[in-house]
Amino acid sequence: MAAFRPLRYRITLDEGRVHEVEATLVAVGNGSSYGGGMRICPGADLTDGLFDITVVGDCSRTTLLRVFPRVYRGTHVDHPKVTVLKAAKVEITAEGVTGYADGEPLGPLPLSARCVRGAVPVVGP
């Protein structure tokens, strides 16, 4: 937390919609939760063919620490510093940032991803 600082991100959605943001966190999800029940993208739908991109804007450490527990209920998205974007394709760029998936480093940004509706059939009880 001592080195905490928001970073400048460029988020390009679908066919060119660009969002330039100062953010403390950018998370892309096809499902609503990860990491032990953290509902980082609470409105995400596995079947809609769209990613939910949760952006936590430029905020203080104090604000981030106050908002973070709300991630477990999915109510953090109601905070004015949190924005949710939706897109089938996303590219995220930022200087000096490593992207992660399921807690494992993917590599330095830029990273891009495409959500393909129905690509993975899931069978349940």
Instruction: Quote the CA–CA distance of 107 and 35 in Å, as a whole number.
Output: 19
Contact 41, 84 (CB under 8 A): yes
| 11-33 tens-digit pLDDT | 999 989 999 999 999 999 999 99
| 67-79 tens-digit pLDDT | 989 999 999 999 9
Token code pair at residue 50: 């769209």
Mean pLDDT of 58-62: 89
Answer whether the bond into residue 105 is a cis peptide, omega within 30°: no
Instruction: Specify the CATH class of 7-94 in words.
Output: mainly beta
Contact 120, 114 (CB under 8 A): no
| 36-52 tens-digit pLDDT | 889 999 999 999 999 99
β-bridge mates for residue 18, sequence order: 12
**Overall pTM surpassing 0.85 (yes/no):** yes
